[in-house]
Amino acid sequence: MPAKPAPAIRNTQQRKAILGVFEASHHPLSPEQILDAAKEGQPGLGIATVYRELKRLCEAGDIVPVQLPGEAMRYERAGHGHHHHFKCVKCDGVFDFEGCLGNVASLLPKGFKHQSHEIIVYGTCADCR
């Protein structure tokens, strides 16, 4: 018997509001930041719905998780290509930045094999300076 195709994801008003938040933002967001921004268009939206939609959007490849050491997961739109993040130590904002150190593999101890890397720069954003 052939496998059933995955059910189509309905484009609900809540999902539209959450996707709208990602379209308006150009940096990784926490679920709470997403909820606060999406509630403007969907006042009845709750955090449980945000988490369910984040899971679905990750599974669909529309968004990707961003993990900073010692912090809760944040999320950003997929398709940005290779980039890194800047964390403001005053406002806790996380921002994307382009550019890279280049050949990170050359910095590794002998015999180590590079798979991927993430660089996080900590400092103060322009608004907090």
Q: Are 95 and 54 within 8 A, CB to CB?
A: no
Same domain, 4 and 46: yes
What CATH number is given to the structural domain containing 117?
Answer: 3.30.1490.190
Find all residues with CB under 8 Å of 128, minimum gap 6, and list them. 88, 90, 91
Task: Report the distance separating Cα 94 and Cα 86, nearest Å.
Answer: 6
Same domain, 60 and 114: no
Band the pLDDT of 79: cuts 50, 70, 90: confident
Same domain, 35 and 68: yes
How much is the pTM? 0.79
Model confidence pLDDT, tens digit, residues 96-117: 988 787 778 888 999 998 888 8
Structural domain containing residue 112: 81-129
Model confidence pLDDT, tens digit, residues 39-59: 988 888 999 999 999 999 999
What CATH number is given to the structural domain containing 35?
Answer: 1.10.10.10
Q: Are 82 and 72 within 8 A, CB to CB?
A: no
Amino acid 7: pLDDT: 41
Same domain, 64 and 116: no
How big is the chain, counted in residues?
Answer: 129
Same domain, 74 and 25: yes
Same domain, 99 and 75: no
pLDDT at 126 over 90: yes
Same domain, 2 and 65: yes
Amino acid 11: pLDDT: 59
Same domain, 48 and 59: yes
